[in-house]
Structure 1
Amino acid sequence: MITLGSIGSASSAAEYYSADNYYTADQTQDASAWFGKGAEAFGLSSKVEEQTFAAVLEGRLPDGSVIAGKDGLHRPGIDLTFSASKSVSLVAMLGGDKRLVEALKDSVTATLRWAEKNVIEARVWDASQGRQVPERTGNLIAATFLHDVNRNGEPQLHIHAVVANATKASDGKWHAVRNDELYRAQHVLSAVHNAELRSRVEALGYETVPARNSIDGAFEIKGVTREAVEAFSTRRAEILAELAKEDRGSARERELAALSTRRGKELEPDAARQVAAWKETARAIGFDPSRLIESTMARAAGEQTVWSRVVNGIRGIGERGMAIASAMGLTPRDSDPLVPERLGRLEPKAFAAAQAVASAAQELGEREAAFSRNDLIRTALERRGPITVDMIEDRIDLLQERGLLVGSGPADRDQMLTTEQALAMENKVISLAQAGKDSVQPIADKDGIVARLQEQARAIGLRRLNPGQEQAGVAILTSKDRVHLVQGGAGVGKSAALAPVAAIAREEGRQVVALSHVGRIAREFGEKTASPASTVDAFLARYGRVIDGSASADKVAAARAELSGALVMVDEASQIGTDRLARLITLANQMDVGKLVLAGDIKQLPAIEAGKPFAQLQQQYVRQSQITENLRAQTPQMQAINRALEQGDVAQAFAVLKPATIEVAPGKIAGIAADMWADLPKEQRDNTILLAAGRAMRSAGNAAAQASLIDRGQISARGIKLEVLDRVTVTREGARQLKGYQEGRVVAFETNLTRQGFARGERGTVIGVRDGKVELAMPNGEVRRFDPDRLPRNLKHDAVTIFERKNIALHQGDRIRWTAKDGERGLLNGDIAHVARIDGDTITVTAGDGKLHDLSRGDPMLERLDLAYASNVHVAQGMTAKNGIIMMSERERMLNTSASFLVAVTRIAENATLVTDNPDRVERQVDTRSGAKTSALETAREVTTGDRPNQQEVAAMSEDLKKLAEKLGPEFALAVLTNKERDITLEKSLYRSEPGRGSGDREMDKERQLERGRDLERGR
């Protein structure tokens, strides 16, 4: 683990770091050392002298240069603290294996070398731009100090790497370090360090296992019990207890908790007495590392490691690589686009690195079409195995050279990467939408259509359609294009505008279907448009075999009868990812749907999954309508905020909100907001929504609101305790990794895993991980083992769902929401219900439709509910409330985006109140984080707003696509069309060089393969 902290005083730091090594002083020659090219330039080496160190921290460099900060104040530097895992510390210090101390020092050196090359920056003057710009300098000055105990006097090997605030730029001058990148790179640095340390620990003969909370690849030494780790971790327990007081846990909050709970250090600690106390604790719990060390020494003498034993007796290179990948928890798949080499073409460790990169790209690609190079490095290193950062970077570079990973800009930490598959999928959506141009019969004639729309609006009870709504309705009903987009900000009445459209379509004999991404929104959309409603997922599942071509002729005919000529409308379409939208448009084209209307807002929250196809289609000449007049905002405050946000002026929106902003102490947001809400008269309270950016603040708001209502006698004081299941957010590729299966979590199987002996609907509780398998306690008392890496890859839904257990109390009168669907009883995921009464172990709830349901102990829906006093913005999108109280904390900086703020504020019609712990910082966070999704096409710079393909090019591409798809399949056909000069056969060796082959041979291979690609393009 790596933590970062600013150095306050140069002189105090020099004294502190130089004098805090008590127990390992006799085991290693150098407890301190200089590091970095900057240090080398000044001849600084070996032991760190306190006086020189203090001068450097003060900005006074050995060559006489002086670095002065603003107003003459100079920041001394940053402390990067590299901590070994507790098991490493125990074996090194109680067992006396000083090899581990050297392993830690070497891993820190390797990580600092990577940081020096990839992270350290300065600001330098750019005359062409007339401003200071960041520049990567490639040099730093750091002093490292080995320490061996924590504040509670427990074994804890760690190294402080104090990076001085000085680096030399291209102008030949020494500048202050731009610290932004160090903080941004904290997780990737931690992953690099864990990989470097783990590789050295394993080389010494130890086996390692993932840590309990294996962030950034954290690990422990196998054979050191959990009891031993916890017995010497009272310091960690103190920090966690401090965090638990206010349900916190970010990196910054851990740092603050550590500071608030730290004890003063002993001025002259008695090392002998402390070691004796350690040994007594170890004896009491039966921890003796001597045998563990002896066995590792024997393995090291025979040059054996965990990975050499994995391949022992396996002859083939390819089979060895497969064995290592399997031991890493990876399952290589045939024809993986990012591992195109034939089995046996890569040396085993290189094969492991290739599989780690492919798996990492797959996991990241499920949520984003493009991802940063550093995120890919970090995620690949989390796969563990005999891999280090150099191997991962070499693999990424190689894939970029071959065009299998496509990057924007230079290969640095800001570079965004995407895959050919993501590019193909985005092109597919565009091509499918363009294929529906001028291909359908209009739903209604143009003559008299405006009058019909307004007449239907009156009949439904709507106000007169405004010009934007009217024009959208006319365009949808009279155009010949299958796909039609409706873009409009929050509160402009998009779904209301579609109600008279649906009515006219029915008059014309068309079937009408209403869809949305969430069941609650879909149902409300269906009610508003008087149409049968469904979620997009349920709709796609119903016609899944039709889409993939495996349905019988009868099923296809039945689907065509249902959908041919139909009006299919999708609300909140901006929350539909690329893959789902591709399948939806494919179905519409196959079944000759009369009109597919996609209504949404590109400024609101995008899809959770990868892509932003709704925004992309707006750039591709797909027919669209704009609705701009805001109908929701009813007061001057809300109208002004909406105007500001429509113009992208976050500062103005916060300025308008300032009179209604309440600043509170950190950790008090939920309690104060809940009290404000509970103090309202019931009618006003029922029309006021409590809004949060994320799940943690929502949970805090729910608990605080419930407590406030109990205090005021608004709900019963007597309640019943329930254990509910809170879904853990994990990708499908992430579900294949062991890190998600933490002890106590519940694993529910969503598909039949016949070979592993699990059936759909079964579930078990994680009791441990052993030999790469998850041990599950089943309800019948049986313990069964589950292998995540054998989960199927080709499913369109999750193979397993992972849950955390959470305890809540329900009281009569509580407002709740369902977190799962019960179709038989009409209980939808996200629907609101109320606790009508509690009678013993039976809870009676009033559902959203007014029906009463008795839920007895053991009813599965009692596990799938939560309090519903507060909502996070993802749940709230699509809601409307008269008033709102918005809870925002500077601690949730990654959630404070312009998109989430816009959604929160625009739910509200009349009065908004902001409760926050730091209004200025929250405003800056919102202003600098858009929350927008990435795009593969934008990353590859193939399609931009200013460089769109013309309609003739798109039409030609669509024709070619149809021809090629018949020969090659749609995915490969798209790859050919969009990557015309790349090696598309994906079969040649990706070695940089091959024994016995010259550059001429390789060039001939390349030409032959390019020619083959051209043949495929020509349809030969």
Structure 2
Amino acid sequence: MMSLGLVASAGAAEYYASDNYYSLENGTDQSLWQGSGAQALGLEGKVETATFERILEGKLPDGSEINASRGEHRAGLDLTFSAPKSVSLVALVGKDHRVVDAFRASVAQTLVWAEKNLSQARVWRDGRQVTENTGNLLVATFTHDVSRQLDPQLHVHAVVAGATLASDGKWHSLKNDEIYQHQRTLGAVHNAYLREGLEKLGYELVPGNNPVLGEFEIAGISRAQIEAFSERRAQILAVLDKDGRSSPREREIAALATRRDKEPAMDREERGKVWAEKAARVGLNLQPIIAAAMERSARGETFWSRMVEGVRGIHARGLEVAAAMGLTPRSGDALVPERKGALTPQAFAAAQAVASAVRDLGENEAGFNRLDLVRAALERRGPINAEVVEARIAQLQDKGLLLGNERMVTPASMLALEQRAAHEIAAGRGAVGAFADRPTAALRVQQAAANLGMRPLNTGQLRAAVGVLATNDRVQLVQGGAGTGKSAALVPVATLLREEGTQVHALAIATRTARDFGEKLGVEGKSVASFLARYRPVLDGTASPEQVANTARELRGAWIMVDETSLVGTEQFEKLVRLANLAGAERLVMIGDTKQLQAIAAGKPFEQAQERGTPTSPVTENLRAASPQMKAVAAALEREDLPGAFAALKDRTLELPRLEGVETAAAIWVSRSPEEREQTLLLTLSRAMRSSLNTAVQEQRADKGELGKQTHVQTVLDRVTITREGARQMRAYREGHIVTFNSNLRAQKIGRGERGRVVGHDGERVRLEMQDGRVQTFTPGRLPHNLQHDAVSVFAEKRIALHAGDPIRWTTNDHARGLANSDVAKVESIGKHGIAVSTKDGEAINLKHGDPMLERLDLAYAVNAHIAQGMTAKDGIMVLSESERLLNSTRSFLVAATRFTGDAVLIVDDAHKIERDVARNPGDKTSAIEVVRGRAVENEPDKRDPAMTDELRRLGAALGPEFVWAVLTNKERELTLEKGLERSEPGRGSVGRELDRERDMERGR
């Protein structure tokens, strides 16, 4: 494990260098200078406290002095590398001093890797300040051997001074951003080096209890024995468990909150006796484990060398190694194109690990950081380290299978998918007939709105409605910010279509959103996934003539409308457009907002489509915000002024510690009348905070006597988020997890609908206790590769208390009873046979014990941003925590802050840090074309994909050279969003003037 902390000041030098409390038995130096920066200064061997202190002050031995960064010199960072507990036990209790040396060596190797990949400085070049990779760090390492509770804990403090030597020959302040961003990768790199070193010493290793980042333990030491020597960890976990928290940042905070002064020092002999007595008490005999390891090491034998003994053929040996890693090689895998036997077992293992990691990351991101790919590959464990993985990534880039640069990469297959989507959109240009001409369409749609009792459509809404009716293009986009009434603009359109007998399909990613959208349009709403599943054979080319005919009958001439399209990933987006073309749909109308939350799946196709010039109707007038506060917030966010948005909320912002903030938010909500509560949204960004708010509100309502006195404690299933590729990894299955099977796995004798509880692991197999009591083994690595859905779902169990009067939210769909994921119901009564609930439509449902929906619910007092997108409430209470740094993004804040028509209260634990984090983290996804453009495409327009080139030629003939110039200079978004190009830019002509006229008309000039 690796944790990261700031070194507050040079005064910390004495703490790290002191040896009166920590002392190693094997006589090695407790401290060492490391890093190329130290070598450049002639620093080697033991760290002298005085020199170390001056360096932390920014005063280097060669006379250089580090200038303060942003007004204050940063002393440095403390990278604390901790050995797995079993490794500490073998090294310190079992006294295998080889392990201490291997651990220190693994830290040194990790620091070399960090120098190469993470060391940066800001330097002046050509009159501007740029960031450069310096390739050197100045590090003082201190090896310690006990925790604050005097448990055996081998760890190294690698104190990275805030100084690095740049290409100009001068020392500069170290830029810490990359180290912070990739601290998890540092942990994975260190685990791989340590694993390699211990395997050379003959130790057999098994996955850790929570084997993220490739964490492991030494075989033969039980979990109970490990936990007996882990009092410090138990303290931290107790605090996290109490508040329902689990993120790395929250672990850091919990560690600080539970930190206490050091225990009184014991001498080495006394401490050894205490450890020996505890080992005897828990039945831990380390000597046989150490002796066996030494024997294997003397024979030059490792786990991996034994794995391939007697296996004939290089390819067969590679398959054995991959199987032991839990990987199942795919035939015809584009990311492993080498012929059989062309790769050594280690190279084959690296190839399979990288291919698996690309698929894993690629399910959620079109492009990803190369260092994240290194981390994900190393998490597969095996006989691989960072160098081997990086070499494999470089090979894939040389072969053109991974595209990008030294920072960002994307699979070539993702670029091809984006190109196909662009080609399909282009294929629909001019391919359909207009419903009516523009004047007629405007008159008819306003009349339809009046007939429906709607107020007249405003300028933006009318332009969107007319745009989709009067176009000859099959694909039409409607872009509008939160609360602009963009989907409402299509209500009269759908009415006109239905009056003409035209089939209308209403779709959205979430079933609940699709149902609500369908109700607006007067048709049945369907999820995008279920809609595409119906026509899967047509899309994959396996449809029978009858299926093709049915598809044509259902979709030819139909209008397909998709709400919240920003949440649709590239794969589904491409299928929707392709299906519309194949079936001859009259129109595919996609509605969304490029500023709100983006798809969980890879890509951002709605935004890309706009950037590529797909016809788009902007809807800009905010109809939701009614109060001065919300109007100010909405206006600030529209102009991307985050400080302005926070300033508009300042008078209603409370700054309180996290737990107090949760209780205060609950108290504000509970203090309101039932009618006011119905119109007040209690909103946060994370599942953990949502759970805390739910519990706090429930407890306060119970104290007021508002809930039924009888309590029903229900065990519910909380989904563990994993990708389809991640489901093939052993690390996804922790003891106690519930695994449900969504496909028939005949080869493993498991049927669809079966489920089991994880009770242990046997190598690459998971042991499950099934519902009928039998124990079934399951091999994740053998899951099918080609499924379009999740073959398995994994859940953690959570216990919640239910009372009559509690609102609940479903966490899955029950189509038979019309229950949709995220829909709200109310507990009406609790009986000995189950609970009775009423749905939002007033329907009564009895959930008897054993009903599957009893496990698929949660309290519904609070919602998070993903649930809230698309919702509207009169008032709001937003609760944000600085500890949830990764979730505090511009997009999530925008969604949270634009749900309300009236007023909002903002409760935070650190207003300054939250505003800073929201500003720093846009929450953006990336596209494959953006990754490629970062390398070459911007400056080489002739290398653009053929679909785009053909489209540009056609559009250029129609719209003139200004449009083509805008696209080639990557400024098509300004055209698409009707911002216009600056008059000083070359090439501005008919297109720019037309945009000016359109904008002036909208403003009523």
Partner of 1:284: 281
For residue 909 of structure 1, give the secondary structure of its aligned residue in structure 2.
Answer: coil
CA separation in 2, counterparts of 1:194 and 1:71?
Answer: 35
User: Does the CA-based 8 Å contact 1:443-1:508 persist in structure 2?
Assistant: no
CA separation in 2, counterparts of 1:67 and 1:441?
Answer: 69
Partner of 1:39: 38
Question: Aligned pair 1:173/2:170, yes or no?
Answer: yes
1:481 equivalent among 473, 479, 485: 473
Taking structure 1 as the reference length, what is the TM-score of the superposition?
Answer: 0.91
TM-superposition CA deviations, 1:821-871 (whole Å, max 9, x none): 111111111111111111223211111221100001110000000111111
Q: Shift of residue 15 of structure 1?
A: 4.9
Q: Which moved more, 1:578-587 or 1:51-60?
A: 51-60
For residue 874 of structure 2, give the secondary structure of its aligned residue in structure 1.
Answer: strand
Partner of 2:404: 407
Q: Shift of residue 12 of structure 1?
A: 4.6
Q: Shift of residue 60 of structure 1?
A: 2.9
Question: Aligned pair 1:183/2:180, yes or no?
Answer: yes
CA separation in 1, counterparts of 2:487 and 2:762?
Answer: 52
- Report matched runs for 1:227-306 at 5 Å: 227-266=224-263, 268-306=265-303
Q: 1:641 to 1:9 in 2, by over 3 A?
A: closer
CA separation in 2, counterparts of 1:958 and 1:653?
Answer: 39
2:362 equivalent among 338, 352, 365: 365
CA separation in 1, counterparts of 2:82 and 2:903?
Answer: 49
- Once the two structures are aligned, what percentage of the paired residues are identical? 51
Taking structure 2 as the reference length, what is the TM-score of the superposition?
Answer: 0.92
- Report matched runs for 1:421-820 at 5 Å: 421-444=413-436, 446=438, 448-820=440-812
For residue 597 of structure 1, give the secondary structure of its aligned residue in structure 2.
Answer: strand
CA separation in 2, counterparts of 1:452 and 1:36?
Answer: 74
Partner of 1:104: 103
Q: Shift of residue 258 of structure 1?
A: 2.5
Partner of 1:2: 2
Question: Aligned pair 1:346/2:343, yes or no?
Answer: yes
Q: 1:445 to 1:6 in 2, by over 3 A?
A: closer
For residue 881 of structure 1, give the secondary structure of its aligned residue in structure 2.
Answer: coil
CA separation in 2, counterparts of 1:190 and 1:868?
Answer: 37
- Report matched runs for 1:194-209 at 5 Å: 194-209=191-206
User: Does the CA-based 8 Å contact 1:620-1:948 persist in structure 2?
Assistant: no
CA separation in 2, counterparts of 1:947 and 1:720?
Answer: 65
Question: Aligned pair 1:192/2:189, yes or no?
Answer: yes
Give the aligned residue type for 2:8.
Answer: G
Q: Shift of residue 83 of structure 1?
A: 0.6
Partner of 1:61: 60
Partner of 2:912: 920
Partner of 2:132: 135
User: Does the CA-based 8 Å contact 1:612-1:934 persist in structure 2?
Assistant: yes
CA separation in 1, counterparts of 2:781 and 2:557?
Answer: 44
For residue 910 of structure 1, give the secondary structure of its aligned residue in structure 2.
Answer: coil
CA separation in 2, counterparts of 1:934 and 1:213?
Answer: 30
User: Does the CA-based 8 Å contact 1:746-1:766 persist in structure 2?
Assistant: yes
For residue 795 of structure 1, give the secondary structure of its aligned residue in structure 2.
Answer: coil
User: Does the CA-based 8 Å contact 2:869-2:895 persist in structure 1?
Assistant: yes
Partner of 1:82: 81
For residue 800 of structure 2, give the secondary structure of its aligned residue in structure 1.
Answer: strand
Partner of 2:981: none
Q: 1:263 to 1:469 in 2, by over 3 A?
A: closer
Give the aligned residue type for 1:280.
Answer: E
CA separation in 2, counterparts of 1:196 and 1:164?
Answer: 23
Q: Shift of residue 8 of structure 1?
A: 3.2
User: Does the CA-based 8 Å contact 1:21-1:148 persist in structure 2?
Assistant: no
Partner of 1:417: 409
User: Does the CA-based 8 Å contact 2:23-2:30 persist in structure 1?
Assistant: no
TM-superposition CA deviations, 1:17-66 (whole Å, max 9, x none): 330565632x2432221112222223222222233323333333222333
Q: Shift of residue 70 of structure 1?
A: 6.5
User: Does the CA-based 8 Å contact 1:662-1:915 persist in structure 2?
Assistant: yes
For residue 569 of structure 1, give the secondary structure of its aligned residue in structure 2.
Answer: strand
CA separation in 1, counterparts of 2:714 and 2:939?
Answer: 52
Q: Shift of residue 948 of structure 1?
A: 11
CA separation in 2, counterparts of 1:520 and 1:641?
Answer: 27
Give the aligned residue type for 1:142.
Answer: V
Q: 1:229 to 1:483 in 2, by over 3 A?
A: same
For residue 908 of structure 1, give the secondary structure of its aligned residue in structure 2.
Answer: coil
TM-superposition CA deviations, 1:271-308 (whole Å, max 9, x none): 22221121111112211011111211121121111101
Q: 1:44 to 1:655 in 2, by over 3 A?
A: same
Partner of 1:19: 19
User: Does the CA-based 8 Å contact 1:574-1:606 persist in structure 2?
Assistant: yes
Return 5+ residue gaps in structure 2 as ranges.
Answer: 955-1005
1:863 equivalent among 834, 844, 855: 855
Q: Shift of residue 666 of structure 1?
A: 2.9
CA separation in 2, counterparts of 1:749 and 1:671?
Answer: 39
For residue 523 of structure 1, give the secondary structure of its aligned residue in structure 2.
Answer: helix
Partner of 1:930: 922
Give the aligned residue type for 1:6.
Answer: L
Alpha carbon RMSD of aligned pairs, Å?
Answer: 2.1
CA separation in 2, counterparts of 1:380 and 1:618?
Answer: 34
Partner of 2:870: 878
User: Does the CA-based 8 Å contact 2:670-2:700 persist in structure 1?
Assistant: yes
Q: 1:445 to 1:63 in 2, by over 3 A?
A: closer
Give the aligned residue type for 1:834.
Answer: K
Give the aligned residue type for 2:824.
Answer: I
CA separation in 2, counterparts of 1:425 and 1:509?
Answer: 35
Q: How many residues align?
A: 952
Give the aligned residue type for 2:152.
Answer: P
Give the aligned residue type for 1:675.
Answer: A
CA separation in 1, counterparts of 2:621 and 2:943?
Answer: 31
Q: 1:242 to 1:447 in 2, by over 3 A?
A: closer
Question: Aligned pair 1:322/2:319, yes or no?
Answer: yes
Q: Shift of residue 879 of structure 1?
A: 0.8
User: Does the CA-based 8 Å contact 2:151-2:230 persist in structure 1?
Assistant: yes
Q: Shift of residue 951 of structure 1?
A: 13
TM-superposition CA deviations, 1:946-996 (whole Å, max 9, x none): 979999964847999xxxxxxxxxxxxxxxxxxxxxxxxxxxxxxxxxxxx
TM-superposition CA deviations, 1:429-477 (whole Å, max 9, x none): 1111111111123334556322211111112121111122122222212
- Report matched runs for 1:836-915 at 5 Å: 836-915=828-907
CA separation in 2, counterparts of 1:183 and 1:937?
Answer: 27
Q: Shift of residue 348 of structure 1?
A: 1.2
For residue 516 of structure 2, give the secondary structure of its aligned residue in structure 1.
Answer: helix
Q: 1:947 to 1:495 in 2, by over 3 A?
A: farther
For residue 632 of structure 1, give the secondary structure of its aligned residue in structure 2.
Answer: coil
CA separation in 2, counterparts of 1:855 and 1:73?
Answer: 61
Partner of 2:93: 94
Give the aligned residue type for 2:468.
Answer: I
Q: Shift of residue 667 of structure 1?
A: 2.9
Partner of 2:978: none
Give the aligned residue type for 1:882.
Answer: K
TM-superposition CA deviations, 1:144-176 (whole Å, max 9, x none): 122111111111111111222222222222223
CA separation in 1, counterparts of 2:70 and 2:929?
Answer: 46
CA separation in 1, counterparts of 2:166 and 2:456?
Answer: 65
Return 5+ residue gaps in structure 1 as ranges.
Answer: 961-1020
Q: 1:688 to 1:198 in 2, by over 3 A?
A: same
CA separation in 2, counterparts of 1:93 and 1:955?
Answer: 66
For residue 915 of structure 1, give the secondary structure of its aligned residue in structure 2.
Answer: strand
User: Does the CA-based 8 Å contact 2:760-2:767 persist in structure 1?
Assistant: yes
Q: Which moved more, 1:845-854 or 1:115-124?
A: 115-124
CA separation in 2, counterparts of 1:112 and 1:376?
Answer: 19
